[in-house]
Amino acid sequence: MDQPWWKRCVAYQIYPRSFCDSNGDGVGDLRGITSKLDYLASLGIGMVWLCPVYASPNDDNGYDISDYEAIQPDFGTREDWIALRDGLHARGIRLVMDLVANHSSDEHAWFVESRTTKDSGKRDWYIWRPPAADGGPPNDWQSVFGGPAWEYDAATGEYYLHLFSKKQPDLNWESTAFRTELFAMMRRWVALGIDGFRMDVINLISKPDGLGAGGNEGGMDRALNGPRMRDYLAEMRREVFAGTDLVTIGETPGMPLELAREITDERAPLLDMQFHFEHVDLDHAPGASKWDSTPMRMPALRATLSRWQDGMDPHGWNSLYLGNHDQPRAVSRYGDDGRYRRESATLLMTLLLTLRGTPFIYQGDEIGMANVAFDSIADYRDIETLNAWRWLTDTRGLDAASALAMIRKKSRDNARTPMQWSAAPNAGFSAAAPWIAPNPDYTGHNVAAAEADPDSVLHYTRRLIALRQGTPALRSGRYRLLDAEHPALWLYERTSEMGRCVVALNFSDTTQPLPPALAELPCLLTNHHNPAADTLAAWEARILGPA
Ligand code: TEU
Protein backbone atom coordinates (compact mmCIF):
# COMPACT_ATOMS: atom_id res chain seq x y z
CA MET A 1 0.00 0.00 0.00
CA ASP A 2 1.20 3.49 -0.81
CA GLN A 3 2.42 5.47 2.14
CA PRO A 4 0.56 8.70 2.98
CA TRP A 5 2.28 11.86 1.72
CA TRP A 6 3.41 12.92 5.19
CA LYS A 7 5.43 9.73 5.64
CA ARG A 8 7.22 10.33 2.37
CA CYS A 9 8.42 13.91 2.81
CA VAL A 10 10.92 15.98 4.76
CA ALA A 11 9.47 18.88 6.77
CA TYR A 12 10.89 22.32 7.47
CA GLN A 13 9.85 24.42 10.46
CA ILE A 14 9.50 28.19 10.11
CA TYR A 15 9.43 30.60 13.05
CA PRO A 16 7.95 33.57 11.17
CA ARG A 17 9.18 36.29 13.50
CA SER A 18 12.77 35.33 12.78
CA PHE A 19 12.73 34.07 9.19
CA CYS A 20 12.68 37.06 6.85
CA ASP A 21 11.44 40.64 7.20
CA SER A 22 10.05 42.09 3.95
CA ASN A 23 8.95 45.53 5.14
CA GLY A 24 11.83 46.75 7.27
CA ASP A 25 10.12 46.82 10.67
CA GLY A 26 12.56 44.37 12.24
CA VAL A 27 9.96 41.57 12.47
CA GLY A 28 9.83 38.63 10.07
CA ASP A 29 6.60 38.35 8.09
CA LEU A 30 4.59 36.32 5.57
CA ARG A 31 5.84 38.21 2.52
CA GLY A 32 9.36 37.57 3.77
CA ILE A 33 8.67 33.84 3.73
CA THR A 34 7.08 34.10 0.27
CA SER A 35 10.23 35.82 -0.99
CA LYS A 36 12.19 32.69 0.01
CA LEU A 37 9.96 30.08 -1.60
CA ASP A 38 12.51 29.12 -4.23
CA TYR A 39 15.08 28.64 -1.49
CA LEU A 40 12.68 26.34 0.39
CA ALA A 41 11.94 24.39 -2.78
CA SER A 42 15.65 24.06 -3.52
CA LEU A 43 16.09 22.10 -0.29
CA GLY A 44 13.80 19.32 -1.49
CA ILE A 45 11.36 19.58 1.41
CA GLY A 46 7.71 18.58 1.03
CA MET A 47 6.06 20.24 4.02
CA VAL A 48 6.38 23.48 5.97
CA TRP A 49 5.23 23.75 9.58
CA LEU A 50 4.47 27.41 10.13
CA CYS A 51 4.57 28.50 13.78
CA PRO A 52 1.59 30.67 14.86
CA VAL A 53 0.75 33.63 12.61
CA TYR A 54 -2.56 34.52 14.27
CA ALA A 55 -3.54 37.72 16.08
CA SER A 56 -1.73 37.80 19.40
CA PRO A 57 -0.52 40.28 22.01
CA ASN A 58 2.76 38.31 21.82
CA ASP A 59 3.27 37.54 25.45
CA ASP A 60 4.66 34.21 24.17
CA ASN A 61 5.38 35.18 20.54
CA GLY A 62 2.08 34.06 19.08
CA TYR A 63 1.44 31.03 21.31
CA ASP A 64 -1.08 33.31 23.04
CA ILE A 65 -3.78 33.72 20.39
CA SER A 66 -6.40 36.47 20.62
CA ASP A 67 -8.16 35.59 17.34
CA TYR A 68 -7.72 32.21 15.67
CA GLU A 69 -8.96 33.50 12.34
CA ALA A 70 -7.08 36.78 11.98
CA ILE A 71 -3.49 37.17 10.82
CA GLN A 72 -1.11 38.96 13.20
CA PRO A 73 -0.74 42.46 11.63
CA ASP A 74 3.05 42.39 12.18
CA PHE A 75 3.11 39.36 9.89
CA GLY A 76 0.84 40.75 7.16
CA THR A 77 -2.67 40.19 5.87
CA ARG A 78 -4.95 37.36 4.91
CA GLU A 79 -4.01 38.01 1.27
CA ASP A 80 -0.35 37.59 2.20
CA TRP A 81 -1.18 34.27 3.82
CA ILE A 82 -3.07 33.14 0.71
CA ALA A 83 -0.11 34.11 -1.48
CA LEU A 84 2.19 32.05 0.74
CA ARG A 85 -0.17 29.06 0.66
CA ASP A 86 -0.41 29.20 -3.12
CA GLY A 87 3.31 29.73 -3.57
CA LEU A 88 4.07 26.66 -1.46
CA HIS A 89 1.48 24.54 -3.23
CA ALA A 90 2.75 25.62 -6.64
CA ARG A 91 6.11 24.17 -5.61
CA GLY A 92 4.64 20.94 -4.29
CA ILE A 93 5.15 21.91 -0.64
CA ARG A 94 2.32 21.29 1.85
CA LEU A 95 1.42 23.82 4.52
CA VAL A 96 0.90 22.74 8.12
CA MET A 97 -0.46 25.36 10.52
CA ASP A 98 0.07 25.56 14.28
CA LEU A 99 -2.99 24.86 16.42
CA VAL A 100 -2.70 26.26 19.93
CA ALA A 101 -5.87 25.01 21.58
CA ASN A 102 -4.83 24.08 25.10
CA HIS A 103 -4.98 27.78 25.92
CA SER A 104 -5.79 31.11 24.31
CA SER A 105 -4.67 34.65 25.07
CA ASP A 106 -6.39 36.40 27.98
CA GLU A 107 -7.20 39.00 25.33
CA HIS A 108 -9.28 36.56 23.29
CA ALA A 109 -12.95 37.63 23.21
CA TRP A 110 -13.87 34.23 24.72
CA PHE A 111 -11.80 34.90 27.84
CA VAL A 112 -12.88 38.53 28.09
CA GLU A 113 -16.46 37.26 28.22
CA SER A 114 -15.62 34.36 30.50
CA ARG A 115 -14.08 36.52 33.17
CA THR A 116 -16.92 39.11 33.29
CA THR A 117 -19.35 37.25 35.55
CA LYS A 118 -19.75 33.80 37.00
CA ASP A 119 -22.86 33.24 34.93
CA SER A 120 -21.34 34.36 31.65
CA GLY A 121 -22.21 31.99 28.78
CA LYS A 122 -18.48 31.33 28.28
CA ARG A 123 -17.60 30.95 31.95
CA ASP A 124 -16.94 27.24 31.54
CA TRP A 125 -14.82 27.70 28.40
CA TYR A 126 -11.92 28.28 30.84
CA ILE A 127 -10.98 26.64 34.12
CA TRP A 128 -12.22 28.67 37.09
CA ARG A 129 -12.04 27.57 40.72
CA PRO A 130 -12.85 29.25 44.02
CA PRO A 131 -9.93 30.11 46.32
CA ALA A 132 -8.68 27.55 48.82
CA ALA A 133 -9.84 27.93 52.45
CA ASP A 134 -6.96 30.34 53.16
CA GLY A 135 -7.85 32.47 50.14
CA GLY A 136 -4.84 31.18 48.20
CA PRO A 137 -4.81 29.30 44.89
CA PRO A 138 -6.92 26.12 44.58
CA ASN A 139 -3.79 23.96 44.55
CA ASP A 140 -0.03 24.34 44.40
CA TRP A 141 0.46 23.77 40.65
CA GLN A 142 3.33 25.73 39.17
CA SER A 143 3.29 27.11 35.64
CA VAL A 144 5.85 26.03 33.04
CA PHE A 145 7.17 29.59 32.83
CA GLY A 146 7.54 29.95 36.61
CA GLY A 147 5.24 31.01 39.45
CA PRO A 148 1.80 29.65 40.37
CA ALA A 149 -0.40 28.18 37.64
CA TRP A 150 -3.46 30.00 39.06
CA GLU A 151 -4.24 33.69 38.74
CA TYR A 152 -6.75 35.45 40.98
CA ASP A 153 -9.34 37.51 39.14
CA ALA A 154 -10.91 40.18 41.33
CA ALA A 155 -13.96 40.65 39.05
CA THR A 156 -15.47 37.37 40.25
CA GLY A 157 -13.25 36.44 43.20
CA GLU A 158 -12.04 33.20 41.58
CA TYR A 159 -8.82 31.83 40.16
CA TYR A 160 -8.24 30.70 36.57
CA LEU A 161 -5.74 28.03 35.52
CA HIS A 162 -2.80 28.88 33.24
CA LEU A 163 -0.21 26.15 32.78
CA PHE A 164 1.95 28.66 30.85
CA SER A 165 1.96 32.46 31.32
CA LYS A 166 -0.92 34.20 33.10
CA LYS A 167 -1.77 35.67 29.70
CA GLN A 168 -2.38 32.10 28.45
CA PRO A 169 -5.49 30.86 30.31
CA ASP A 170 -6.18 27.15 29.76
CA LEU A 171 -9.28 26.37 27.73
CA ASN A 172 -11.77 23.92 29.18
CA TRP A 173 -12.20 20.97 26.84
CA GLU A 174 -14.96 19.61 29.10
CA SER A 175 -17.24 22.24 27.57
CA THR A 176 -19.07 20.79 24.58
CA ALA A 177 -19.89 24.27 23.32
CA PHE A 178 -16.18 25.15 23.30
CA ARG A 179 -15.20 22.00 21.43
CA THR A 180 -17.97 22.54 18.90
CA GLU A 181 -16.72 26.05 18.17
CA LEU A 182 -13.07 24.94 18.09
CA PHE A 183 -13.78 22.19 15.57
CA ALA A 184 -15.82 24.58 13.41
CA MET A 185 -12.90 27.02 13.46
CA MET A 186 -10.51 24.23 12.43
CA ARG A 187 -12.83 23.20 9.58
CA ARG A 188 -12.77 26.78 8.31
CA TRP A 189 -8.96 26.55 8.11
CA VAL A 190 -9.24 23.18 6.39
CA ALA A 191 -11.58 24.79 3.85
CA LEU A 192 -8.85 27.34 3.17
CA GLY A 193 -6.70 24.58 1.78
CA ILE A 194 -4.22 23.87 4.55
CA ASP A 195 -2.61 20.45 4.74
CA GLY A 196 -2.66 19.78 8.45
CA PHE A 197 -2.03 21.00 11.98
CA ARG A 198 0.84 20.76 14.42
CA MET A 199 -0.97 20.71 17.75
CA ASP A 200 0.64 22.58 20.61
CA VAL A 201 0.81 20.64 23.92
CA ILE A 202 -2.16 18.57 22.76
CA ASN A 203 -1.69 16.05 25.57
CA LEU A 204 -2.51 18.72 28.19
CA ILE A 205 -6.12 19.20 27.10
CA SER A 206 -7.76 16.83 29.58
CA LYS A 207 -7.17 17.94 33.15
CA PRO A 208 -7.34 15.40 35.98
CA ASP A 209 -10.63 14.81 37.77
CA GLY A 210 -11.10 16.73 40.99
CA LEU A 211 -8.78 19.52 39.88
CA GLY A 212 -8.56 22.27 42.47
CA ALA A 213 -10.09 20.22 45.24
CA GLY A 214 -6.77 19.95 47.07
CA GLY A 215 -3.90 17.52 46.58
CA ASN A 216 -2.69 17.21 43.02
CA GLU A 217 0.73 18.68 43.75
CA GLY A 218 2.90 19.65 40.82
CA GLY A 219 2.01 21.39 37.59
CA MET A 220 2.17 20.45 33.97
CA ASP A 221 3.15 16.91 34.92
CA ARG A 222 -0.20 16.35 36.59
CA ALA A 223 -2.12 17.47 33.54
CA LEU A 224 -0.31 15.26 31.01
CA ASN A 225 -2.18 12.56 29.05
CA GLY A 226 -5.36 13.12 31.05
CA PRO A 227 -8.41 10.88 31.37
CA ARG A 228 -10.46 12.18 28.41
CA MET A 229 -7.60 12.99 26.04
CA ARG A 230 -8.30 10.02 23.78
CA ASP A 231 -12.01 10.88 23.58
CA TYR A 232 -11.28 14.47 22.59
CA LEU A 233 -8.74 13.44 19.98
CA ALA A 234 -11.12 10.85 18.54
CA GLU A 235 -13.90 13.41 18.39
CA MET A 236 -11.60 15.92 16.68
CA ARG A 237 -10.55 13.35 14.12
CA ARG A 238 -14.17 12.59 13.35
CA GLU A 239 -15.36 16.18 13.31
CA VAL A 240 -12.47 17.82 11.46
CA PHE A 241 -10.36 15.29 9.58
CA ALA A 242 -12.70 12.50 8.45
CA GLY A 243 -12.43 11.97 4.70
CA THR A 244 -9.39 14.24 4.32
CA ASP A 245 -5.72 13.41 3.84
CA LEU A 246 -4.58 16.14 6.23
CA VAL A 247 -1.80 15.39 8.68
CA THR A 248 -2.18 15.72 12.46
CA ILE A 249 1.04 16.17 14.42
CA GLY A 250 0.91 16.25 18.20
CA GLU A 251 3.37 18.12 20.37
CA THR A 252 3.32 15.81 23.36
CA PRO A 253 5.78 16.50 26.19
CA GLY A 254 5.84 13.69 28.72
CA MET A 255 3.98 11.21 26.56
CA PRO A 256 5.30 7.71 27.23
CA LEU A 257 6.33 5.57 24.28
CA GLU A 258 3.57 3.01 24.83
CA LEU A 259 0.91 5.71 24.63
CA ALA A 260 2.53 7.41 21.62
CA ARG A 261 2.56 4.06 19.84
CA GLU A 262 -1.09 3.51 20.56
CA ILE A 263 -2.13 7.03 19.57
CA THR A 264 -0.29 7.03 16.24
CA ASP A 265 -1.13 3.41 15.36
CA GLU A 266 -1.93 3.60 11.65
CA ARG A 267 -4.65 0.99 12.06
CA ALA A 268 -6.70 3.31 14.31
CA PRO A 269 -4.87 6.61 14.64
CA LEU A 270 -5.88 9.46 16.92
CA LEU A 271 -2.87 11.50 15.69
CA ASP A 272 -0.67 10.70 12.71
CA MET A 273 2.59 11.39 14.53
CA GLN A 274 3.94 13.13 17.59
CA PHE A 275 6.96 14.94 18.97
CA HIS A 276 8.30 13.32 22.14
CA PHE A 277 10.70 15.15 24.46
CA GLU A 278 12.90 12.42 25.89
CA HIS A 279 16.08 13.31 24.02
CA VAL A 280 15.78 17.04 24.68
CA ASP A 281 15.48 16.33 28.40
CA LEU A 282 18.70 14.29 28.57
CA ASP A 283 20.85 17.25 29.59
CA HIS A 284 18.71 18.36 32.53
CA ALA A 285 20.22 17.42 35.87
CA PRO A 286 17.87 14.82 37.41
CA GLY A 287 15.18 16.42 39.54
CA ALA A 288 16.43 19.91 38.73
CA SER A 289 15.25 22.66 36.40
CA LYS A 290 16.08 22.76 32.71
CA TRP A 291 18.61 25.51 33.51
CA ASP A 292 20.71 23.05 35.54
CA SER A 293 22.50 21.34 32.68
CA THR A 294 24.43 18.12 32.58
CA PRO A 295 26.51 17.13 29.55
CA MET A 296 24.66 15.65 26.58
CA ARG A 297 26.27 12.29 25.84
CA MET A 298 25.89 10.33 22.63
CA PRO A 299 25.27 6.92 24.28
CA ALA A 300 22.25 8.36 26.13
CA LEU A 301 20.97 10.00 22.95
CA ARG A 302 21.48 6.76 21.05
CA ALA A 303 19.71 4.68 23.69
CA THR A 304 16.75 7.07 23.83
CA LEU A 305 16.22 7.51 20.12
CA SER A 306 16.81 3.80 19.45
CA ARG A 307 14.13 2.94 21.99
CA TRP A 308 11.68 5.20 20.14
CA GLN A 309 12.76 3.84 16.76
CA ASP A 310 12.12 0.27 17.88
CA GLY A 311 9.05 1.07 19.92
CA MET A 312 7.18 2.88 17.14
CA ASP A 313 7.82 0.09 14.64
CA PRO A 314 5.88 -1.08 12.67
CA HIS A 315 2.54 0.69 13.19
CA GLY A 316 3.46 3.96 14.94
CA TRP A 317 5.23 6.94 13.40
CA ASN A 318 7.70 9.46 14.87
CA SER A 319 8.16 13.15 14.19
CA LEU A 320 11.94 13.49 14.20
CA TYR A 321 13.70 16.63 15.43
CA LEU A 322 16.95 17.71 17.03
CA GLY A 323 16.00 21.36 17.45
CA ASN A 324 13.04 23.70 17.21
CA HIS A 325 12.01 27.18 18.41
CA ASP A 326 11.96 25.98 22.05
CA GLN A 327 15.36 24.29 22.13
CA PRO A 328 19.01 25.30 21.94
CA ARG A 329 20.66 24.90 18.53
CA ALA A 330 21.38 21.27 17.66
CA VAL A 331 25.01 21.81 16.64
CA SER A 332 25.77 23.50 19.97
CA ARG A 333 23.97 20.89 22.00
CA TYR A 334 24.74 17.55 20.36
CA GLY A 335 27.72 18.53 18.20
CA ASP A 336 30.75 20.79 18.41
CA ASP A 337 30.07 24.38 17.34
CA GLY A 338 33.79 25.23 17.53
CA ARG A 339 36.43 23.37 15.58
CA TYR A 340 34.11 20.74 14.12
CA ARG A 341 31.11 22.91 13.39
CA ARG A 342 30.65 21.92 9.74
CA GLU A 343 31.44 18.26 10.38
CA SER A 344 29.17 17.91 13.40
CA ALA A 345 26.32 19.92 11.85
CA THR A 346 26.38 17.63 8.80
CA LEU A 347 26.64 14.54 11.00
CA LEU A 348 23.56 15.62 12.95
CA MET A 349 21.71 16.32 9.73
CA THR A 350 22.64 12.78 8.62
CA LEU A 351 21.16 11.37 11.83
CA LEU A 352 17.96 13.40 11.49
CA LEU A 353 17.47 12.37 7.87
CA THR A 354 18.22 8.67 8.21
CA LEU A 355 15.89 7.66 11.02
CA ARG A 356 12.43 6.18 10.61
CA GLY A 357 9.79 8.91 10.88
CA THR A 358 9.20 12.32 9.33
CA PRO A 359 12.25 14.56 9.82
CA PHE A 360 11.67 18.21 10.74
CA ILE A 361 14.53 20.56 9.87
CA TYR A 362 14.42 23.70 12.00
CA GLN A 363 15.16 26.92 10.09
CA GLY A 364 18.86 27.71 10.09
CA ASP A 365 20.00 24.20 11.00
CA GLU A 366 20.61 23.64 7.29
CA ILE A 367 23.40 26.23 7.50
CA GLY A 368 24.63 25.04 10.90
CA MET A 369 23.34 28.00 12.94
CA ALA A 370 24.65 27.88 16.51
CA ASN A 371 23.67 29.14 19.97
CA VAL A 372 24.11 32.84 20.65
CA ALA A 373 25.97 34.15 23.73
CA PHE A 374 24.42 37.52 24.45
CA ASP A 375 26.37 39.80 26.81
CA SER A 376 23.44 40.82 28.94
CA ILE A 377 20.00 39.64 29.97
CA ALA A 378 18.72 42.83 28.31
CA ASP A 379 19.41 41.19 24.93
CA TYR A 380 17.04 38.28 25.62
CA ARG A 381 13.35 38.45 24.70
CA ASP A 382 11.73 35.12 25.62
CA ILE A 383 9.24 35.19 28.50
CA GLU A 384 10.49 31.87 29.88
CA THR A 385 14.09 33.13 29.83
CA LEU A 386 13.25 36.45 31.49
CA ASN A 387 11.24 34.72 34.21
CA ALA A 388 14.07 32.24 34.74
CA TRP A 389 16.54 35.09 35.13
CA ARG A 390 14.48 36.54 37.99
CA TRP A 391 14.15 33.13 39.58
CA LEU A 392 17.85 32.30 39.24
CA THR A 393 19.08 35.66 40.54
CA ASP A 394 16.39 36.48 43.14
CA THR A 395 15.06 33.20 44.45
CA ARG A 396 18.21 31.13 44.04
CA GLY A 397 20.54 34.05 44.68
CA LEU A 398 22.98 33.28 41.85
CA ASP A 399 25.34 36.00 40.69
CA ALA A 400 24.68 37.51 37.27
CA ALA A 401 27.57 35.72 35.54
CA SER A 402 26.45 32.26 36.70
CA ALA A 403 22.82 32.91 35.81
CA LEU A 404 23.80 34.23 32.38
CA ALA A 405 25.94 31.15 31.73
CA MET A 406 22.94 28.90 32.44
CA ILE A 407 20.69 30.98 30.23
CA ARG A 408 23.12 31.01 27.34
CA LYS A 409 23.08 27.24 27.29
CA LYS A 410 19.36 26.66 27.36
CA SER A 411 17.44 29.79 26.40
CA ARG A 412 14.81 29.35 23.71
CA ASP A 413 16.20 32.56 22.20
CA ASN A 414 19.17 30.52 20.95
CA ALA A 415 16.82 29.27 18.25
CA ARG A 416 15.04 32.58 17.71
CA THR A 417 17.83 34.86 16.50
CA PRO A 418 17.23 36.00 12.91
CA MET A 419 17.82 33.58 10.07
CA GLN A 420 21.24 34.34 8.62
CA TRP A 421 20.75 35.08 4.93
CA SER A 422 23.95 36.96 4.14
CA ALA A 423 26.85 38.95 5.56
CA ALA A 424 24.91 42.22 4.98
CA PRO A 425 23.86 44.24 8.05
CA ASN A 426 21.28 42.44 10.25
CA ALA A 427 22.29 39.16 8.61
CA GLY A 428 20.29 40.11 5.52
CA PHE A 429 17.16 39.39 7.58
CA SER A 430 15.87 42.94 7.73
CA ALA A 431 16.65 46.51 6.68
CA ALA A 432 16.04 47.59 10.29
CA ALA A 433 17.39 46.47 13.65
CA PRO A 434 15.68 43.10 14.28
CA TRP A 435 13.39 42.50 17.29
CA ILE A 436 16.15 40.27 18.66
CA ALA A 437 19.81 40.79 17.76
CA PRO A 438 21.36 38.43 15.22
CA ASN A 439 24.05 36.03 16.26
CA PRO A 440 27.27 37.97 15.49
CA ASP A 441 28.67 34.90 13.73
CA TYR A 442 26.38 35.64 10.76
CA THR A 443 29.26 37.28 8.89
CA GLY A 444 30.81 33.84 8.38
CA HIS A 445 27.76 31.59 8.62
CA ASN A 446 24.96 32.54 6.27
CA VAL A 447 22.99 31.24 3.31
CA ALA A 448 24.86 33.29 0.69
CA ALA A 449 28.22 31.97 1.88
CA ALA A 450 26.83 28.44 2.07
CA GLU A 451 25.49 28.61 -1.49
CA ALA A 452 28.97 29.58 -2.70
CA ASP A 453 30.74 26.76 -0.83
CA PRO A 454 30.27 23.26 -2.29
CA ASP A 455 31.26 21.77 1.08
CA SER A 456 28.69 23.69 3.09
CA VAL A 457 26.13 22.21 5.45
CA LEU A 458 23.50 23.56 3.07
CA HIS A 459 24.69 21.66 0.00
CA TYR A 460 25.21 18.53 2.06
CA THR A 461 21.65 18.84 3.39
CA ARG A 462 20.31 19.00 -0.17
CA ARG A 463 22.28 15.90 -1.17
CA LEU A 464 21.07 14.10 1.92
CA ILE A 465 17.41 14.93 1.31
CA ALA A 466 17.73 13.80 -2.30
CA LEU A 467 19.35 10.54 -1.20
CA ARG A 468 16.66 9.87 1.39
CA GLN A 469 13.90 10.59 -1.09
CA GLY A 470 15.42 8.24 -3.63
CA THR A 471 16.17 5.39 -1.21
CA PRO A 472 13.16 3.43 0.13
CA ALA A 473 15.20 1.83 2.92
CA LEU A 474 16.13 5.27 4.28
CA ARG A 475 12.63 6.61 3.94
CA SER A 476 10.65 3.90 5.54
CA GLY A 477 12.88 0.91 6.30
CA ARG A 478 13.14 -0.72 9.65
CA TYR A 479 15.77 0.64 12.07
CA ARG A 480 18.21 -1.70 13.78
CA LEU A 481 21.00 -0.62 16.11
CA LEU A 482 24.22 -2.50 15.29
CA ASP A 483 26.26 -1.78 18.41
CA ALA A 484 24.65 -0.59 21.62
CA GLU A 485 27.89 -0.16 23.54
CA HIS A 486 30.41 1.70 21.38
CA PRO A 487 31.49 4.89 23.21
CA ALA A 488 31.92 7.02 20.06
CA LEU A 489 30.28 5.35 17.07
CA TRP A 490 26.57 5.15 16.44
CA LEU A 491 26.00 2.42 13.86
CA TYR A 492 22.61 1.36 12.56
CA GLU A 493 20.98 -0.17 9.56
CA ARG A 494 17.76 0.58 7.77
CA THR A 495 16.18 -2.28 5.89
CA SER A 496 13.18 -2.65 3.66
CA GLU A 497 12.14 -5.14 0.99
CA MET A 498 13.77 -2.73 -1.43
CA GLY A 499 17.24 -2.86 0.14
CA ARG A 500 19.50 -2.07 3.04
CA CYS A 501 21.59 0.90 4.14
CA VAL A 502 24.00 1.28 7.02
CA VAL A 503 24.60 4.60 8.74
CA ALA A 504 27.87 5.15 10.60
CA LEU A 505 28.27 8.26 12.73
CA ASN A 506 31.42 9.20 14.62
CA PHE A 507 30.38 11.37 17.56
CA SER A 508 33.97 12.16 18.57
CA ASP A 509 36.92 14.27 17.54
CA THR A 510 39.22 11.29 17.02
CA THR A 511 39.50 8.85 14.13
CA GLN A 512 37.70 5.56 14.82
CA PRO A 513 38.11 2.17 13.11
CA LEU A 514 35.05 1.00 11.25
CA PRO A 515 34.00 -2.64 11.81
CA PRO A 516 35.48 -4.65 8.88
CA ALA A 517 32.09 -5.86 7.61
CA LEU A 518 31.02 -2.25 7.15
CA ALA A 519 34.29 -1.14 5.59
CA GLU A 520 33.46 -3.34 2.58
CA LEU A 521 30.17 -1.64 1.75
CA PRO A 522 30.02 1.01 -0.95
CA CYS A 523 29.75 4.57 0.30
CA LEU A 524 26.60 6.43 -0.77
CA LEU A 525 27.36 9.70 1.00
CA THR A 526 29.89 11.08 3.47
CA ASN A 527 30.49 14.50 4.98
CA HIS A 528 34.26 13.99 4.71
CA HIS A 529 36.56 14.94 1.81
CA ASN A 530 38.83 11.92 1.71
CA PRO A 531 37.07 9.06 3.43
CA ALA A 532 39.27 6.10 4.36
CA ALA A 533 37.46 2.80 3.81
CA ASP A 534 38.30 1.34 7.20
CA THR A 535 38.10 4.37 9.50
CA LEU A 536 35.77 7.24 10.27
CA ALA A 537 37.40 10.66 10.75
CA ALA A 538 36.40 13.05 13.55
CA TRP A 539 32.64 13.72 13.32
CA GLU A 540 32.45 11.84 10.04
CA ALA A 541 29.07 10.56 8.92
CA ARG A 542 28.82 7.90 6.25
CA ILE A 543 25.86 6.22 4.61
CA LEU A 544 26.73 2.80 3.21
CA GLY A 545 24.90 0.40 0.97
CA PRO A 546 22.96 -0.92 -0.75
CA ALA A 547 24.00 -4.44 0.09
O1 TEU B 1 5.80 24.26 24.00
C2 TEU B 1 5.42 23.38 25.01
C3 TEU B 1 6.46 22.96 25.97
O4 TEU B 1 6.12 22.34 26.94
C5 TEU B 1 7.87 23.26 25.78
O6 TEU B 1 8.47 23.11 24.59
C7 TEU B 1 8.25 24.49 26.46
O8 TEU B 1 8.41 25.58 25.60
C9 TEU B 1 9.57 24.24 27.11
O10 TEU B 1 9.50 23.04 27.79
C11 TEU B 1 9.87 25.30 28.09
O12 TEU B 1 11.00 24.90 28.80
C13 TEU B 1 4.80 24.80 23.22
C14 TEU B 1 5.38 25.77 22.22
O15 TEU B 1 6.21 25.08 21.33
C16 TEU B 1 6.08 26.87 22.97
O17 TEU B 1 6.74 27.76 22.12
C18 TEU B 1 5.03 27.59 23.78
O19 TEU B 1 5.65 28.54 24.60
C20 TEU B 1 4.24 26.62 24.67
O21 TEU B 1 3.82 25.45 23.99
C22 TEU B 1 2.97 27.28 25.14
O23 TEU B 1 2.10 27.48 24.08
Q: 385-418: buried (b, 16+ CB within 10 Å) or exposed (e) per residue?
A: bbbbbebbbeeeebeeeebbebbbbbbbbbbbbb
Clarify whether residues 85 and 125 are in a common domain.
no
Res 498: pLDDT: 86
- In this structure, the number of other CB atoms found within 10 A of the CB of residue 447 comes to 21
Clarify whether residues 371 and 255 are in a common domain.
yes
CB neighbour list of residue 426: distance below 8 Å, 6 or more residues apart: 418, 432, 433, 434, 438
| E strand intervals along 477-522 | 478-481, 489-496, 499-506, 512-513
Res 547: pLDDT: 52
Res 214: pLDDT: 61
Range of the domain at 495: 476-544
Q: What is the CATH number of the domain that holds 131?
A: 3.90.400.10
Clarify whether residues 324 and 423 are in a common domain.
yes
Structurally, the chain folds into a number of domains equal to: 3
Which of 51, 58, 63, 100 to mutate for ligand 1's pocket (most ligand atoms within 8 Å of CB)? 63
- Give the active site residue among 158, 251, 366, 540: 251
| pLDDT tens by residue, 391-431 | 999 999 999 999 999 999 999 999 999 999 999 999 999 99
8 Å CB contact between 14 and 33: yes
Beta strands at 358-362 and 11-14: parallel, antiparallel or unpaired: parallel
Q: For residue 470, tell me if it sits in a domain.
A: no
200 is catalytic: yes
Clarify whether residues 98 and 204 are in a common domain.
yes
What distances in angstroms separate CA 212 from CA 105, 128, 160, 203, 215, one per listed residue? 22, 9, 10, 19, 8
Res 213: pLDDT: 72
How far apart, in whole angstroms, are the C-alpha atoms of residue 412 and residue 384?
8
Which of 163, 201, 392 to mutate for ligand 1's pocket (most ligand atoms within 8 Å of CB)? 201
CB neighbour list of residue 543: distance below 8 Å, 6 or more residues apart: 350, 354, 467, 474, 501, 502, 503, 504, 523, 524, 525, 526
Q: What is the CATH number of the domain that holds 36?
A: 3.20.20.80
The SS3 call for residue 311 is helix
Which strand (E) or helix (H) includes residue 466? helix 457-470
Q: 161-184: buried (b, 16+ CB within 10 Å) or exposed (e) per residue?
A: bbbbbbbbbbbbbebeebbeebbe
Q: For residue 168, tell me if it sits in a domain.
A: no
Q: For residue 90, tell me if it sits in a domain.
A: yes
Clarify whether residues 295 and 387 are in a common domain.
yes
Res 423: pLDDT: 98
Domain-terminating residue out of 459, 488, 510:
459
Domain-terminating residue out of 431, 459, 487:
459
Clarify whether residues 254 and 342 are in a common domain.
yes
Q: For residue 222, tell me if it sits in a domain.
A: yes
Res 103: pLDDT: 98
Res 218: pLDDT: 67
265 is catalytic: no
Res 220: pLDDT: 76
Q: Is residue 441 lining ligand 1, measured as CB closer than 6 Å?
A: no
Q: How far is the centre of ligand 1, averaged over its atoms, from the C-alpha of 144 (Å)?
A: 8
Q: For residue 296, tell me if it sits in a domain.
A: yes
Q: How far is the centre of ligand 1, averaged over its atoms, from the C-alpha of 165 (Å)?
A: 11
Domain-terminating residue out of 428, 459, 490:
459
Clarify whether residues 220 and 349 are in a common domain.
yes
How far apart, in whole angstroms, are the C-alpha atoms of residue 359 and residue 355?
8
Clarify whether residues 355 and 498 are in a common domain.
no
- In this structure, the number of other CB atoms found within 10 A of the CB of residue 113 comes to 15
Q: How far is the centre of ligand 1, averaged over its atoms, from the C-alpha of 125 (Å)?
A: 22
How far apart, in whole angstroms, are the C-alpha atoms of residue 356 and residue 141?
37
Q: What is the CATH number of the domain that holds 521?
A: 2.60.40.1180
For the chain, which residues score pLDDT lower than 70?
1, 214-218, 547
Clarify whether residues 241 and 119 are in a common domain.
no
